[in-house]
């Protein structure tokens, strides 16, 4: 059954090479009814420029249930998508996000949710573990196949696996991989500006964006092939002064 939904985009993962598609970006957002949605597949860089949404854009799109078994998953009909607005104001963003925040990862799982924001009590460590500097032979073959299309765009391999060690609202510690688009893009930008981009990234996230001036939640989502593993798909961090009347824990 096809349904048209109005969704605030809050999550975009770094593009990955797909066995079925050229590449995909897993997208997450909240409907105007307060329900979470995982939009997949989305070859974001390959859709019309007018449909290339950004974080905190509001979109309208026709969706139907995705058969992956996760309650939030929907398959979007990309030709139907239109960007209808953007939220610049933190309070407006909080009005959408805050009612859906879970106190802890266990609370989220107990509610049978596979995509949701979770309270971050403290970020303990940011880790960038070196990984392969190039795509696998299978992935390269897929990219070579994609080059037959005029619109093919090179996709840079980020040679690090990013992780956060953190405590949720129940003070339970987690060690979670980070898949958010912003981390890959930040590395690509910083490597051109700084001799030690990872050190600058660590300071940016630990001392600034996840620091004491911000009321942080992680957008947590589980993996399609390993449902028991939850990753950080995005960071929500309004300034505390903008949410001083909100109590998240």
- Same domain for 8 and 126? no
Q: What is the pLDDT of residue 134?
A: 84
Q: What is the pLDDT of residue 223?
A: 84
- Same domain for 151 and 227? yes
Averaged confidence pLDDT in the chain = 89
- Same domain for 48 and 157? no
Is the pLDDT at 19 greater than 70? The verdict is no
pLDDT in tens, 164-194: 999 999 999 999 999 999 999 999 999 999 9
Q: What confidence tier does 247 reach under pLDDT thresholds 50, 70, 90?
A: very low
Task: With respect to residue 95, please indicate whether it lies within any of the assigned structural domains.
Answer: no
Q: What is the pLDDT of residue 80?
A: 96
Could you tell me the residue range of the domain that residue 65 belongs to?
A: 3-90
- Same domain for 188 and 220? yes
Task: With respect to residue 40, please indicate whether it lies within any of the assigned structural domains.
Answer: yes
- Same domain for 82 and 201? no
R_g (Cα) of the chain, nearest Å: 18
- Same domain for 119 and 86? no
Other residues' Cβ atoms within 10 Å of the Cβ of residue 180? 21
- For residue 183, count CB atoms less than 10 angstroms from its CB and return exposed for 0-12, middle for 13-18, buried for 19 or more: buried
Q: What is the CATH number of the domain that holds 56?
A: 2.40.50.730
The model carries a pTM of 0.89
Q: What is the mean pLDDT of the segment spanning 82-110?
A: 96
Alpha helices in 124-180 (DSSP H): 137-146
- For residue 55, count CB atoms less than 10 angstroms from its CB and return exposed for 0-12, middle for 13-18, buried for 19 or more: buried
- Same domain for 53 and 117? no
Task: With respect to residue 96, please indicate whether it lies within any of the assigned structural domains.
Answer: no
- Same domain for 176 and 226? yes
- Same domain for 117 and 27? no
Q: What is the pLDDT of residue 150?
A: 52
- Distance CA(32)–CA(96), nearest Å, equals 8
Q: What is the mean pLDDT of the segment spanning 117-140?
A: 91
Region of poorest pLDDT, from 42-51, 62-71, 146-155, 163-172:
146-155
Is the pLDDT at 237 greater than 70? The verdict is yes
Give the total number of structural domains in the chain.
2
- Same domain for 182 and 220? yes
């Amino acid at each position: 059954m096809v349904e048209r939904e109005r969704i605030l985009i809050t999550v975009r993962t770094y593009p990955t090479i797909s066995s079925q598609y050229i590449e995909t970006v897993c997208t997450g957002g909240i409907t105007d009814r307060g329900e979470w949605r995982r939009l997949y597949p989305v070859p974001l860089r390959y859709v019309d420029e007018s449909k290339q949404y950004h974080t905190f854009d509001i979109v309208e799109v026709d969706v139907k249930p995705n058969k992956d078994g996760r309650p939030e998953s929907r398959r979007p009909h990309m030709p139907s998508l239109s960007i209808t607005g953007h939220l610049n104001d933190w309070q407006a963003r909080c009005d959408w996000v805050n009612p859906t925040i879970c106190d802890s990862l266990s609370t989220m799982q107990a509610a049978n949710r596979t995509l949701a924001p979770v309270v971050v009590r403290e970020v303990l460590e940011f880790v960038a573990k070196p990984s392969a500097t190039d795509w696998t032979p299978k992935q390269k073959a897929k990219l070579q196949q994609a080059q037959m299309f005029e619109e093919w765009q090179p996709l840079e391999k980020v040679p690090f696996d990013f992780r956060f060690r953190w405590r949720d609202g129940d003070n339970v510690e987690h060690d979670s991989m980070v898949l958010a688009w912003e981390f890959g893009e930040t590395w690509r930008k910083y490597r051109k500006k700084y001799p030690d981009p990872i050190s600058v990234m660590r300071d940016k996230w630990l001392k600034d964006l996840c620091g004491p001036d911000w009321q942080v939640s992680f957008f947590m989502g589980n993996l399609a092939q390993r449902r028991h593993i939850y990753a950080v798909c995005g960071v929500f961090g309004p300034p505390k002064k903008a949410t001083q009347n909100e109590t998240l824990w």
